[in-house]
Structure 1
Amino acid sequence: MRVQNPSSNAAQRSSSTSPSSSTPTTKALPPSRSNELVPKPTDGFESPASRSRQPSKNLLTGDSASQALATPKPGTPATPAANTISPKDIPAADWTVFVHLNADNNLEDFGKDDLNEMEAGGGSIEGKLNMIALVDGGTRKDADGWNTSSRLMYVTRDPNNSSKLTSKEIAVDPSSDLGKMLAKGEIDSGSPEVLRAALDYVQRNTESKHYMVDLWDHGNGWKGVSYDDNPNSSIDMPELQKALSGLPQKIDVVAADACLMATVEVADTAKAAGADYLVGSEELEPGTGWDYKDLLGRMNKLFAGKEPVTAEQMSKAIQESYAAGPRDNVTMSVTDLSKLDGLNSKLNSFSDALVKAGGLQDKTIRQAYDKSLRMDDADQMDLGDFAKRVSNSTKDTALKAAADQLVAELAQTTTAKSAKGADSKWTAQTGLTIYAPKGGVDAQYKQTGSAWLNSHWNNVIKTYNATRVS
Structure 2
Amino acid sequence: MSQIKCRLVMFSMFCLLVSCGGGGSSSPPATTDPTPDSGGSTKDWTYMIYLGADNTLSTSGLVDLNEMETVGSTDQVNVVLQAEFSTKYTTFSEFGHPSYVGDTLRMLVQKDNDPNDVDLEAGTSIGNVDMGSPAALKGFIQWAAATYPADHYALVVWDHGAGWKTAELQRGAVEDATSGSFMSLPDLAKAVSDSGVHFDLINFDACLMGMYEVAYEFRGLTDYMVFSEEVEPGDGDPYDTILAALVADPSMTGNTLARTIVDKYIDFYGSGSRSEKVTKSAIAMSGLDALHTSVINLASTLVADYSTNSGLVLSALTNSQSYAYPSNYDLYDFSKELVGQFPSGAIRTAAQAVMAQIDDPSFVVRNNSLGSAVAGSKGLAIYLPQSNQISVDQVVDELQKYSQLACNQNRATAWYDAVVAVMEGRIEDLVKGDFTFYIEWTGDADLDLYVWEPDAIYAPWMGQTTPNGFLSGDSAETGSSEEYYSANSYVQSGQYDFLVNYYENGHTSSSAEVYLWYRDATIDDQWYSYGPVTLNLSQQYTGDFTDLSTLSDLNAYSDWWYRLFTTRMSDLLQPPVLINTGSRVLNINFRSKKRKPDFNNLIKER
TM range (shorter): 0.7 to 0.9
CA distance in 1 between partners of 2:277 and 2:49 (Å): 20
Specify the code of the residue in structure 2 equivalent to 1:460. Answer: A
8 Å Cα contact 1:156-1:167 kept in structure 2: no
State the percentage of identical aligned residues: 26
Find out whether 1:406 has 2:358 as its counterpart. Answer: no
1:44 is matched with none
8 Å Cα contact 1:258-1:289 kept in structure 2: yes
1:324 is matched with 267
Find out whether 1:209 has 2:151 as its counterpart. Answer: yes
Note the alpha carbon deviations across 1:402-451, whole angstroms, 9 max, x for none: 11111010122225533112xx231111101111111136211122x634
1:177 is matched with none
1:264 pairs, out of 206, 212, 221, with 212
Higher relative strand content? 2
**Secondary structure of residue in 2 paired with 1:399:** helix
Note the C-alpha offset of 1:85.
5.0
Find out whether 1:394 has 2:342 as its counterpart. Answer: yes
1:154 pairs, out of 100, 108, 122, with 108
CA distance in 2 between partners of 1:193 and 1:359 (Å): 46
Q: TM-score, normalising length from structure 1?
A: 0.75
Q: Which structure ranks higher in relative contact order (CA pairs < 8 Å, sequence separation ≥ 6)?
A: 1
Specify the code of the residue in structure 2 equivalent to 1:111. Answer: G
Larger Cα Rg: Structure 1 or Structure 2?
2
Specify the code of the residue in structure 2 equivalent to 1:296. Answer: L
Matches within 5 A, 1:42-121: 53-54=21-22, 56-60=24-28, 85-87=35-37, 91-120=41-70
CA distance in 1 between partners of 2:425 and 2:208 (Å): 32
2:258 is matched with 315
Matches within 5 A, 1:60-459: 60=28, 85-87=35-37, 91-120=41-70, 122-126=71-75, 128-139=76-87, 140=90, 141-142=92-93, 143-145=95-97, 147=100, 148-165=102-119, 168-170=122-124, 183=126, 185-223=127-165, 224-272=172-220, 274-303=221-250, 308-326=251-269, 327=275, 330-358=278-306, 362-412=310-360, 413-421=363-371, 424-440=372-388, 442-447=399-404, 450-453=406-409, 454=411, 456-459=414-417
Unaligned runs of 5+ in 2: 1-6, 9-14, 166-171, 270-274, 389-397, 427-606
8 Å Cα contact 1:85-1:168 kept in structure 2: no
Specify the code of the residue in structure 2 equivalent to 1:426. Answer: V
CA distance in 1 between partners of 2:308 and 2:285 (Å): 29
- Tell me: CA distance 1:114–1:55, structure 2 relative to 1, closer, same or farther (3 Å): closer
8 Å Cα contact 2:385-2:423 kept in structure 1: no
Specify the code of the residue in structure 2 equivalent to 1:410. Answer: I
CA distance in 2 between partners of 1:359 and 1:205 (Å): 58
Note the C-alpha offset of 1:167.
7.3
**Secondary structure of residue in 1 paired with 2:422:** coil
- Tell me: CA distance 1:260–1:93, structure 2 relative to 1, closer, same or farther (3 Å): same
8 Å Cα contact 2:130-2:136 kept in structure 1: yes
Note the C-alpha offset of 1:359.
6.3
- Tell me: CA distance 1:257–1:457, structure 2 relative to 1, closer, same or farther (3 Å): same
Note the C-alpha offset of 1:153.
1.0
- Tell me: CA distance 1:240–1:437, structure 2 relative to 1, closer, same or farther (3 Å): same
> Number of residue pairs matched?
383
Note the C-alpha offset of 1:57.
3.3
| 253-262 or 233-242, larger mean C-alpha shift | 233-242
Note the alpha carbon deviations across 1:215-260, whole angstroms, 9 max, x for none: 0110000013012212222211221121001434312211111100
- Tell me: CA distance 1:145–1:298, structure 2 relative to 1, closer, same or farther (3 Å): farther
Specify the code of the residue in structure 2 equivalent to 1:152. Answer: R
Note the alpha carbon deviations across 1:4-49, whole angstroms, 9 max, x for none: xxxxxxxxxxxxxxxx99xxxxxxxxxx89x99xxxxxxxxxxxxx
Specify the code of the residue in structure 2 equivalent to 1:107. Answer: L
| 131-140 or 204-213, larger mean C-alpha shift | 204-213
**Secondary structure of residue in 2 paired with 1:332:** strand
CA distance in 2 between partners of 1:328 and 1:99 (Å): 27
Note the C-alpha offset of 1:325.
1.7
- Tell me: CA distance 1:54–1:301, structure 2 relative to 1, closer, same or farther (3 Å): closer
Note the alpha carbon deviations across 1:238-291, whole angstroms, 9 max, x for none: 21121001434312211111100110011001214x211110000001111111
Note the C-alpha offset of 1:343.
0.7
Unaligned runs of 5+ in 1: 1-19, 22-31, 37-51, 61-71, 79-83, 171-181
Note the alpha carbon deviations across 1:92-124, whole angstroms, 9 max, x for none: 31111110011111111111111110111x111
**Secondary structure of residue in 2 paired with 1:297:** helix
- Tell me: CA distance 1:403–1:193, structure 2 relative to 1, closer, same or farther (3 Å): same
